[in-house]
Chain A
Amino acid sequence: MSTIAASPGPMLAGSSGEEPARDNSRRIQLAFLIGFLLVWWLVTALALINPFFLPSPQAVARVFFRLVTTGEILPDLKITTGQIAVSFPIALLSGLAVGYAVSSSRYSVEVFEPMLAGLFAIPLIIFYPLNVLILGIGPESKIAHGAIYGFFPIVLSAIQGFGSVDRAYLRSAHSLGASRFQVLRRVLLPAALPSIMAGVRMGFVLTFVATIGSETIASLGGLGHRIVWYAESLETDKMFAYIVFIIIIAVVSNAVLSWIERRSDWR
């Protein structure tokens, strides 16, 4: 569906390793990573770049292990995950609820689906300063921003998923005397699950990225905040260590969600 494809971000990444043999592409990615580290090491070892701009990989690794083992990273990690722990469930529940409501008739899909897709085509980051002004610079504005970003892919995939369930299933369930809730629980959700899971994964990725991004722009704490903090004090080894940490979280959570997404696809 074009509206889903229109969404920005790294959501394509998880699902397209299939065509070139999966192992092969993993091996190439690993080789690339090793090559990248080698070049990085070489550039810093030969002192081609001022270490303020690019610290050596050994220095970053050292700082990284210190951050993780001493627990220095924990306070910021708690802030960021705490915000996502609130914003993502909001995005998920409201996305499913609105998606269910909109998909209830062809007419309401026709009215609301393009409006939602159109809103999602706007870079939602522009609403972040308003969030900060209205909700303050604390965690509330990040929660709101993360929830807004996660909401759209979930609601759009829910409309598409619920809407494409074969109407014959619904009619036969109704004629067998199923209640609205039973139909939702036993027919709609299982039938729509694979397409909804794709949206849920996208929604999580976007909530995560939006939370980090909003912490980068204006915040009092969190992983994104710390990156900026160390960038501004030119402690770039620490900044790189935090960047590596966030990338690892992103890659791991994307892998987990892709795995769930594949498992939920019974087709």
Chain B
Amino acid sequence: MRRRFSISDYLPVPAARILTVAIILVVWEITGRMADPLFFAPPSRCLTAAAEIFGDPKLQWALWLTLVELVTGFALSVVFGVLIGTAIGARATSYRSFFPIVMFLYAIPQVTVLPLFVLYFGPGAASKIAFGFSHGIFPVIITVVGALRGLDQTLLRSAYSMGASRMQVFRRITLPFIVPALFTGMRLGMTATLLGVLIGELYVSSGGIGMFTRLYTDSLRPDRLFALTAVLALMAIVINETLRRAETNVSHWRNA
């Protein structure tokens, strides 16, 4: 084949990514300086705004509160997700009778019932935890059930025939088998919980970060809003990457 000039010969992949981000930042900076400062802000102005707002103890408290809501909702999702998922996935009959119900509930767009959560749990942290939990529990249940269904029955049968007790089978076969899937479920559950908590925060908030996004929008401070959004995005990326690493490590351990 004819050899053409190719950018890939000169630019390794990470450098190309950094270059892409740099180009976006430059374009953003240029358009940001030309746009109306009441509605748009260049990255340079967002940086100074970030320094301003993150010194504010009220905002620090709001971020902390959001993190607490996230962790609580996530912990509840994992605990109840594993319990329910194990109960459903352990036997073929319970799988056949209850799993369709889980999928039925999962297909409902949950954001429609968000006002109900606020009606029942109030505008404080409880409604965000509950809404995050209602998002996070489904991926956990579904992955645990999926893993249990995929469990090789001959493994179980041979273990039982060699005289293993129920506890031994659970400890030595079932648990190691579902752990990698559980990590996948936990990562997906974390993403979902974060989504639920943030939707709840943005809808109505008494003291969480939703209060500040509304404040910066209403007071026409795009620089502050960009800065806060960037930090939230960074938080999501860090959480996601951490769990993804953990997941990869665990599945390596299983494949080894």
Q: Are A6 and B225 in contact (CB under 8 A)?
A: no
Q: What is the interface residue range for chain A against chain B?
A: 35 or more
Contact A25–B100 (Cβ < 8 Å): yes
Chain B interface helix/strand/loop/mixed: helix
Q: Which B residues touch A246, using CB under 8 A?
A: 109, 112
Per-residue interface assignment for chain A, residues 122 to 157, with 1 indicating a CB less than 8 Å from any chain B CB and 0 otherwise: 110111111011100000000000000000000000
Residues in chain B near residue A70, CB distance under 8 A: none
Q: A32-B104, A125-B199 are in contact. Are A231 and B188 (CB under 8 A)?
A: no
CB-nearest residue of chain A to B104: A29
A72 is an interface residue with CB less than 8 A from chain B: no
Contact (Cβ within 8 A) A20 B99:
yes
Nearest chain B CB to A223 CB, angstrom units: 8
In whole Å, how far is A73's beta carbon from the nearest beta carbon of chain B?
14
Q: A-B pairs with CB below 8 Å: how many?
A: 159
A10-18, A84-92, A158-166, A185-193 - interface stretch: A10-18
With beta carbons under 8 angstroms apart, the residue of A28, A110, A111, A247 that contacts B112 is: A247
Known contacts A8-B191, A134-B222; is-contact A247 B233 (Cβ 8 Å): no
Whether B225 and A217, one on each chain, are in contact in the complex, defined by CB atoms closer than 8 angstroms, is no
- Flag B189-220 by CB within 8 Å of A: 1 or 0 each: 00110110011001100000000011011001
Closest to A206 in B: B109
Looking at the assembled complex, report how far the CB atom of B145 sits from the nearest CB atom of chain A, in whole angstroms: 10
Given known pairs A53-B119, A129-B202, A243-B113, the reply for A32 and B101 (CB within 8 Å) is yes
Tally of B interface residues using CB under 8 Å: 58
Q: Is B226 an interface position by the 8 A CB rule?
A: yes
- CB <8 Å contact, B237 and A111: no
Quick one: which of B75-105 are within 8 Å of A by CB? 95-97, 99-101, 103-104
- Would A125 and B195 count as touching, CB distance under 8 A? yes
Query: A111 and B109 in contact (CB under 8 A), knowing A24-B96, A121-B240?
Result: no
- A contact set with B: CB distance below 8 Å: 5-6, 8, 10, 12-14, 16-17, 19-20, 24-26, 28-29, 32-33, 53, 105, 107, 110-112, 115, 118, 121-123, 125-130, 132-134, 205, 208-209, 212-213, 216-217, 224, 227-228, 231-232, 236, 239, 242-243, 246-247, 250-251, 254
Residues of B within 8 A of A (CB): 6-8, 13, 16-17, 20, 39-40, 95-97, 99-101, 103-104, 106-109, 111-116, 118-120, 135, 142, 149, 184, 187-188, 191-192, 194-195, 198-199, 202-203, 213-214, 216-217, 220, 222, 225-226, 229, 232-233, 236-237, 240
Please give 5 more A-B residue pairs, beta carbons under 8 A apart, in addition to A26-B100, A228-B203, A250-B108. Answer: A29-B101, A32-B101, A107-B16, A122-B237, A208-B109
Closest 5 CB pairs of A and B: A231-B115, A13-B107, A25-B100, A107-B8, A213-B111
